[in-house]
Structure 1
Amino acid sequence: MHILITGGSGFLGQALTKEACKQDDVTITWVSRNTNTPKSEGISGLNIIDYDELKTCQTHFDVIINLAGAGIADKRWSTARKKVLFDSRLNPTQAILDYIAQAHTKPKLFISGSAIGWYGAQIGDEILTEQSPAQTNDFAHSLCQQWEDLAITANQYNVPVAIIRTGVVISPTGGMITKLKTPFSLGVGGNLGNGKQIMSWISVNDWVRAVLFIIKQNAALNKQSTQLTPKQIYNLTAPTAVNNREFTKAVGSWLNRPTVLHQPAFVVKQLFGEMATLLIDGQNVYPQNLLDMGFKFEHGSVGEALNSE
């Protein structure tokens, strides 16, 4: 199986590549703006092409995984930053669609990234599944909606599309935790707002396993000559969401540091502007479709995820 990945050098892309490369029958190619992109330890036999090469590439890829996109929580959402967030997602997605359009042999599956931000800031406390409508039409929803809408157009080339709406990814060695280590280690970590907002999370190991599970399930159906669902939506979140207070306590316990301080909502809004919605507005997202397909999560608590490596 030959898998093409955009955003492969990112935190999730590297974790996925490292695990997929352990399988004897898997070859990985990254699409990157820089073909000299450094690879992490434990990744061998990896090919890297740039977006210009992709335009005319006739290599057959069985699966394409689209993870490219600037970090939504890396900077305040100025007008310029919002444009970067859109362009860094939509441009690579369009490049993939252009490749699919001219490829003689089409991929069997296109997995495209998204986020639970698609649901918008939650109103009420009901559990949100893949069948739930968006709660609010805020910036995060608009960003994810346009990203998903563009990816789904691969259906016109008879390529099934699986949208993966990822929650907060927990790992002891990367992602969100790297930004929290310093304040928590200094003893200034604490609840944000009232601490009751729900945080839908997933361990990096379960995220990787879920993506590979989706590929495996689609491949099995394809071998059976079963018509694949053209549009598939998956919430990549653990079925055990926590509130901010519980999450804060888990991180403090992991680092053996106190978590007595807290930031009132108005302070968070002053510090982060519109982006504060990611921190003080919760989303109780449930992975109904993954569970219905038989996927088993390995990490049921934030503490387990933090101690998984």
Structure 2
Amino acid sequence: MQGSERSRVAVTGSTGLIGSALVRSLRTDGHEVVRLVRRPAGAADEVEWDPHRQHVDVAGLAGCDAIVHLAGAGIGDRRWTDAYRKEIRDSRVLGTAAIAEAAASMDPPPRVLVSGSAVGYYGDTGDRAVDEDAPPGDGFLPDVCVEWEEAAAPAQEAGVRTVFSRTGLVVARKGGAWGRMFPVFRAGLGGRLGDGRQYWSFIALHDEVAALRHLIDAESLSGPVNLTAPEPVTNGEATAAMGRVLHRPTLFNVPAPVLRGVLGEMSENVLTGQRVLPARLLESGFSFAFPTIDEAIRAALR
């Protein structure tokens, strides 16, 4: 996909924060994008799939050089009832299994499957820095991430280079956790969550898209790759940076018991943290455009 070579790329989750930005980036550079949709295909660039039925219209993927699989129910979209925990898991595990089986059945198969994952794989690391060699943590999200990545086995066994993009918190003005924070901080109501000492491994949306495209191109990369900026920050440091960039006070803080009361079990997702380093991404020659938290926030506001 480097230079003037035109590729055909299939993308799931193409209406989400990351997927829509990736589709725009690829099309701007002249690549053909096929979007997988969970309804009958209604446009020339659409292919139908149903993760829960394990169905993919494989014929529609013919000629695809790469598949980027980003679909999954939002972690922070709803309170974690038993039913929603099942939706979080099934949307990732069943969806990945369906895409991996489809990739394995293609003739010829795609060169690469970039399959979404998350830094939640590592669990709560405290202030301990971890890279891709670290084992999974304990709890619901680490367990989901392990199953999520294991579900790609059919593609790996078929010889498709498979990369797991373990993404951190994406800093973007609209969408995702950061998109919900910007209005609060702009109103001068932002502040630390809990004690603020939990690490947040972030990445600017621009760098997330560039890193995904790097994973498509970098033939040397397979397995897990952390998509996080090289300098993770604590929640307290991220709060201070939001105040600096937006020129707003950050006097408020939400105590942990209040968060637990409002969010239930999902509160652990913001009260615990991961100090994750992008070791393999940097080793492979990737360069961040917005490596610091201040730069990432400013980039989101542009």
Give 3-state SS (helix, strand or coil) of 1:131's partner: coil
* Structure 1 position 97, deviation (Å): 2.4
Which one-letter code corresponds to 1:126 in the other structure? R
**Cα distance in structure 2, aligned partners of 1:60 and 1:95:** 18
Match of 1:49 in 2: 47
Pairing 1:258–2:260 present: no
Match of 1:92 in 2: 95
Runs of 4+ with >3 A deviation: 34-37, 55-58
Query: Is 1:121–1:277's contact at 8 Å kept on the other side of the alignment?
Result: no
Give 3-state SS (helix, strand or coil) of 1:304's partner: helix
Pairing 1:206–2:207 present: yes
CA deviations over 1:203-250 (Å, ceiling 9, x no partner): 0000111111121222xxxxxxxxx66x42100000011111111112
Bigger CA drift: 203-212 or 87-96? 87-96
Match of 2:133 in 1: 131
Which one-letter code corresponds to 2:47 in the other structure? I
* Structure 1 position 184, deviation (Å): 2.2
Match of 1:290 in 2: 281
Query: Is 2:115–2:164's contact at 8 Å kept on the other side of the alignment?
Result: yes
* Number of residues of Structure 1 aligned to a counterpart in Structure 2: 289
**Cα distance in structure 1, aligned partners of 2:280 and 2:114:** 15
Query: Is 2:56–2:102's contact at 8 Å kept on the other side of the alignment?
Result: no
Gaps of 5+ in 1: 38-44, 219-227
Pairing 1:159–2:160 present: yes
CA deviations over 1:150-204 (Å, ceiling 9, x no partner): 0133111111110010000002343323211332233321101111111100000
Structure 1 residues 89, 53: closer, same or farther in 2, change over 3 A?
A: closer
CA deviations over 1:231-273 (Å, ceiling 9, x no partner): 4210000001111111111222333321101111122112211
Which one-letter code corresponds to 2:17 in the other structure? F
Query: Is 2:13–2:36's contact at 8 Å kept on the other side of the alignment?
Result: yes
Structure 1 residues 46, 21: closer, same or farther in 2, change over 3 A?
A: farther
Match of 1:271 in 2: 262
Query: Is 1:2–1:60's contact at 8 Å kept on the other side of the alignment?
Result: yes
* Structure 1 position 60, deviation (Å): 2.2
Which one-letter code corresponds to 2:32 in the other structure? T
Equivalence map 1:227-266=2 (5 Å): 231-266=222-257
Give 3-state SS (helix, strand or coil) of 1:50's partner: strand
Which one-letter code corresponds to 1:15 in the other structure? A
Give 3-state SS (helix, strand or coil) of 1:307's partner: helix
**Cα distance in structure 2, aligned partners of 1:275 and 1:34:** 30
Equivalence map 1:216-235=2 (5 Å): 216-218=217-219, 231-235=222-226
Which one-letter code corresponds to 1:115 in the other structure? A
* Structure 1 position 126, deviation (Å): 1.9
Equivalence map 1:159-198=2 (5 Å): 159-198=160-199
CA deviations over 1:44-83 (Å, ceiling 9, x no partner): x971111166144461211011100011011111100011
Equivalence map 1:8-157=2 (5 Å): 8-24=14-30, 26-34=31-39, 47-51=45-49, 54-57=57-60, 59-122=62-125, 124-134=126-136, 136-157=137-158
Percent identity, aligned pairs only, is 34
Structure 1 residues 56, 101: closer, same or farther in 2, change over 3 A?
A: same
Which one-letter code corresponds to 1:298 in the other structure? A
Structure 1 residues 82, 256: closer, same or farther in 2, change over 3 A?
A: same
CA RMSD, Structure 1 to Structure 2 (Å): 1.9
Structure 1 residues 74, 58: closer, same or farther in 2, change over 3 A?
A: closer
Match of 2:52 in 1: none
